[in-house]
Amino acid sequence: HAAEAQRTDLMTITRHVLNEQGRHPESRGDFTILLSHIVLGCKFVASAVNKAGLAKLVGLAGETNVQGEEQKKLDVLSNEVFVKALVSSGRTCVLVSEENEEAIFVDPALRGKYCVCFDPLDGSSNIDCGVSIGTIFGIYMIKDKDNVTLGDVLQPGTNMLAAGYCMYGSSCTLVLSTGNGVNGFTLDPSLGEFILTHPNIKIPKKGKIYSVNEGNAKNWDVPTEKYVEKCKFPQDGSSPKSLRYIGSMVADVHRTLLYGGIFLYPADQKSPNGKLRVLYEVFPMSFLMEQAGGQAFTGKQRALELAPTKLHDRSPIFLGSYDDVEEIKALYASES
Ligand code: AHM
Ligand code: MG
């Protein structure tokens, strides 16, 4: 009976969010409309990513293809699609994208109450070899949409209303939290719909995997160095952890969420604030981790409590299983 129900009673992402928002009837319609525009962007990017190799047959990025059309780079194209989808939803007043130096203030006639911070296509180094890449987004509510300023965008992550990512991998998976747990949806290409496949994701309390660009080790600080040493040569009789590093934050975080473990992009002598950007990389992923029962730490504080001062601020980040992040917190505490 359950299998039959699964096949005929499809829990699409729209249906799921409408159910969840039942608690807030006043915002129900607006958030659902906003989300459906984000989902549209994700479907477009999924389809473009699938054809990325084939696109080379008709023309390379920056060149003109046989139809005489300019070929846009995938990340530039994805950004245009998301910006247009979000603006046309009529539910946003300000957008922050990794691809745009400045915040985008939406035309007053099209303004709604939401602010969306996003990285339209993260993991750029993996595009040309067909390895998983993704889109990351975080959503805030703006108090006064008619007088929105840059200051409204630079909020701590604790004010975030919803966050998610979409991974373009061996399947296309969208993971979302509206502050009430984490759910995963897989794109059914034959339906063009995201279907609930991973309800109520909880990250294992402790993991067996660590994920870091170890090529930066010579520039690490002492706690990071000690932590990774512990992963490889545990002194408590436990087995060493496995190392997995894809180099796409979405894919590395997705694995961490499902299998447990820790993902780190620490500070180093060359990049004292690490590499990952607070508003559209660190915050959304930290929000999801906490919602799944894990933790996210910067080396100094709870990641969501950071107060960004600039749009493209960076921060070191350690996120994943509760117990694994506790260990890194202890190492930083003993350092100071
Ligand atoms: P990008 O925005 O240029 O794609 O960089 C972000 C990516 C993340 O997806 C990933 O976690 C990280 O950069 C990997 O960096 P590195 O190549 O330094 O290990
Ligand atoms: Mg990025």
pLDDT computed for residue 128 by the predictor: 86
Give the strand order in the sheet containing 262-265: 242-243, 209-211, 262-265, 317-320, 295-297
Residues 6+ apart with CB under 8 A from 36: 14, 89
Q: Is the torsion defined by CA of 141, 143, 146, 151 positive or negative?
A: negative
Residue 243 confidence (pLDDT) above 80: yes
Reference 255, options 203, 220, 306; nearest CA is: 203
Q: How confident is the model at residue 179 (pLDDT cuts 50, 70, 90)?
A: very high
Block residue for tokens 């930290």? 286
The predicted structure's pLDDT at residue 61: 52
Pick the more confident residue, 153 or 6: 153
* Alpha helix (H) residue ranges in the chain: 2-8, 13-20, 25-50, 52-58, 74-88, 150-153, 222-232, 249-259, 283-291, 322-335
Task: Tell me what pLDDT residue 73 has.
Answer: 86
Share of the chain above pLDDT 70, in %: 91
pLDDT of residue 191: 94
CA distance 134 to 3: 30
Residue of the CA atom closest to atom 2 of ligand 1: 122
| 109-114 contacts, C-beta under 8 A, 24 or more apart | 111/145, 111/146, 111/148, 112/30, 112/34, 112/145, 113/30, 113/141, 113/142, 113/145, 114/30, 114/31, 114/34, 114/139, 114/140, 114/141, 114/142, 114/161
Q: If pLDDT is split at 50, 70 and 90, which confidence band does 8 have?
A: confident
* Pocket mutation for ligand 1, best pick of 276, 282, 318, 319 (most atoms within 8 Å of C-beta): 276
40-76 pLDDT per residue, tens:
999 999 999 988 877 765 444 555 544 445 556 899 9
Return the ligand number nearest the Cα of 317. Answer: 1
pLDDT tens digit string along 189-213? 999 999 999 999 999 999 999 999 9
Among 275, 285, 315, the mutation site with the greatest number of ligand 1 atoms within 8 A of its Cβ is 275
Residue 34 near residue 85 (C-beta atoms within 8 A) = no
What distance in angstroms lies between residue 21's CA and the mean position of ligand 1's atoms? 34
The ligand that comes nearest to the alpha carbon of residue 278 is 2
Test site for ligand 1: of 125, 166, 281, most ligand atoms within 8 A of the Cβ: 125
In order, the DSSP letters of 183-194 are: EEEEEETTTTEE
**Residue 4: which pLDDT band, with cuts at 50, 70 and 90?**
low
Predicted local confidence at residue 234, as pLDDT: 96
Would you tell me how many other CB atoms lie within 10 Å of the CB of residue 281?
27
Q: Ligand 1 centroid vs 279 CA: distance in angstroms?
A: 15
Residue where the block lists tokens 């890449």: 133
Is the Cβ–Cβ distance between 291 and 241 less than 8 Å? Answer: no
Confidence of residue 5 (pLDDT cuts 50, 70, 90): low
192 C-alpha to ligand 1 centroid (Å): 29
Ligand 1 closest atom vs CA 125: 4
Ligand 1 atom 7 nearest Cα: 123
* Pocket (CB within 6 angstroms of ligand 1): 122-125, 213, 247-249, 252, 265, 275
Nearest CA to ligand 1 atom 4: 123
Complex-level ipTM: 0.97
As a whole number of angstroms, the distance between CA 45 and CA 228 comes to 35
Predicted local confidence at residue 60, as pLDDT: 45
Give the pLDDT confidence score for residue 335 in this predicted structure.
85
Instruction: Judge residue 7's burial from the number of C-beta atoms within 10 Å of its C-beta, 0-12 exposed, 13-18 middle, 19 or more buried.
Output: exposed
Task: Give SS3 for 275.
Answer: coil
Cα distances (angstroms) measured from residue 65 to each of 15, 72, 73, 81, 115: 40, 10, 13, 20, 36
Confidence at residue 6, expressed as pLDDT on a 0 to 100 scale: 59
Percentage of residues in the chain having pLDDT higher than 90: 82
The confidence band for 3, taking pLDDT boundaries of 50, 70 and 90, is low
Q: What confidence tens digit (pLDDT) does each residue in 113-165 have? A: 999 999 999 998 898 889 999 999 999 999 998 899 999 999 999 999 999 99
314 CA distance to ligand 1 middle (Å): 12
Maximum Cα interatomic distance, the chain, rounded to a whole number of Å:
64
pLDDT value of residue 305: 98
User: Which residue, 46, 257, 14, 52, is CA-closest to 171?
Assistant: 46
CA 213 to ligand 1 center in whole angstroms: 9
The ligand with the least distance to the CA atom of 249 is 1
Report which ligand 1 atom has the smallest distance to the Cα of 252.
Answer: 11
Size (the chain), residues: 336
Predicted pLDDT at 1 = 60
Q: What's the mean per-residue pLDDT of the chain?
A: 92
Taking CA atoms only, the protein residue closest to ligand 1 atom 15 is 247
49 burial (CB, 10 Å; 0-12 / 13-18 / 19+) is buried
